[in-house]
Amino acid sequence: MSKQYPRQHSSTWYLARWPYRLFMLRELSAVFMAVYVVLMVIMVSRIYEGQDAYEDYRDFLKSPFVIVFHLIALAFALLHSITWFQAVPRAIRIRRGEEFVPPQALIGTHILAWFGISVVIIGIFLI
């Protein structure tokens, strides 16, 4: 880190091409997920305060602005999940005997686990 090279790209390089735009949207997904988690913790806090506080918060969750936020956050979260699982084979290599587990199998296993965990989470609250 001793040398500083001059920056070669423009300050809006990420708008130039779709792969760059997708990269930046994926990076932005983290911000939306963090904001969502803040809303989730506020919800938990209201639930601990009791039913009246929770009902007030539920009215807030029903407002169109908040519904739209959750739609956008869900789109970003799905983008994160799909791109994350696709990147798994770049981070993990599992050897099985002589061969490595093929990348598609690793991605598929993670997506199956994702579906299973999602069903369990929704089930825990609905049952």
Given the rule CB under 8 A, which residues bind other proteins? 7, 9, 11, 14, 24, 27-28, 30-31, 33-34, 36-41, 43-45, 47-48, 51, 54-55, 58, 61-62, 66-67, 69-71, 73-74, 77-78, 80-81, 84-85, 91, 110, 113-114, 117-119, 121-122, 124-127
For residues 78 and 111, the answer to whether their CB atoms sit within 8 Å is no
Q: How far apart, in whole angstroms, are the C-alpha atoms of residue 24 and residue 86?
A: 17
Phi, psi (degrees; rounded to nearest 5) at 92: -120, 130
As beta bridge partners, residue 95 has 100
Least Å from the CB of residue 57 to other proteins: 9
CB nearer to other proteins: give 105 or 117.
117
